Amino acid sequence: MGVAYSPPDKVIHADLDASSSHCLRQGLHIAVQKAGWVIDREITNGFVYILISPQDASLQCKVQIQDTGRQIFPFFSPILDVMFMDIEEVNKSPLYALHHTSPSYGAPTRRMRAHITPCQIFTYVPGVTHNANSVMGGIPFIDPNALDSTIDLCADEVNDLKTARAWWSCSDLSTADYDWGVPSFRTSWHAGCSATLHNNTFVIEPRAFPDDSARLRIPVMQRPQHFLESYGNVNSDYPVILRWTGTDQPLCFDPFVAWSDTHPVKIRGQLWDAIYRTQYVSWESPLTFDYLLWFSYSTGERQYNGGAPHLYSTGDIFTLYLRDPGLTHFECDAPEPEPPTESNYAY
Q: Name the CA radius of gyration of the chain, rounded.
A: 21
Q: Which SS3 state, helix, strand or coil, does residue 51 take?
A: strand
Supply the DSSP symbol for 231.
H
- Going by C-alpha positions, the residue among 300, 183, 323 that lies closest to residue 254 is 323
Q: What is the pTM of this model?
A: 0.85
Work out the burial of residue 170: count CB atoms within 10 Å of its CB; fewer than 13 is exposed, 13-18 middle, 19 or more buried: buried
Residue 149 or 275, more confident: 275
Residue 176 has what pLDDT? Answer: 82
Q: Which residues pair with 286 in a beta bridge?
A: 295
Task: Determine what percent of the chain is predicted with pLDDT higher than 90.
Answer: 43
Supply the DSSP symbol for 147.
B
pLDDT per position as a tens digit, 209-226: 445 445 566 655 444 444
Q: Give residue limits of the domains in the chain.
A: 8-330
| Bond prior to 335 in cis (omega within 30° of 0) | no
Residue 306 has what pLDDT? Answer: 40
Which band of pLDDT confidence, cut at 50, 70 and 90, is reported for residue 237? very low
Residue 89 has what pLDDT? Answer: 97
Is residue 238 over pLDDT 50?
no
Which band of pLDDT confidence, cut at 50, 70 and 90, is reported for residue 231? very low
**Which residue type sits at 39?**
I
User: What are the DSSP E strand ranges found in 18-145?
Assistant: 38-43, 46-52, 60-66, 71-72, 77-85, 96-99, 111-117, 120-124, 135-138
CB 191 within 8 A of CB 179: no
Q: How far is CA 27 from CA 188, 292, 315, 335, in A?
A: 27, 26, 37, 11
Q: Which residues pair with 16 in a beta bridge?
A: 112, 330
